[in-house]
Amino acid sequence: MKWITRERPKIDRIACPWLIKNYVDKEAEFIYLPKEKVFTEAKKLDAIPYDIPGAEYSHEGAYCTFDYIVKKHKITDSGVQVIAQIVRGADTNCFGLAAQSAGLWAISAGLSFNYKNDYEMLETGIKIYDALYSWAKYAQDEKHTWKPEL
Domain ranges of the chain: 2-138
Q: What band does 131 get if pLDDT is binned at 50, 70 and 90?
A: very high
Q: What is the dihedral of CA 59, 25, 104, 138, to 10 degrees?
A: 130
User: Which is nearest to 21 in space by CA: 35, 2, 43?
Assistant: 2
The single-letter code of the amino acid at 53 is P
Question: 38-60 burial, b if ≥16 CB within 10 A, otherwise e?
Answer: bbeebeeeebbbbbbeebebbbe
**Entry pTM:** 0.93
Give the span between the Cα atoms of 63 and 69, in whole angstroms.
Answer: 11
pLDDT digits (tens, 9 = 90+) for 48-101: 999 999 999 999 999 999 999 999 999 999 999 999 999 999 999 999 999 999
The full length of the chain comes to 150
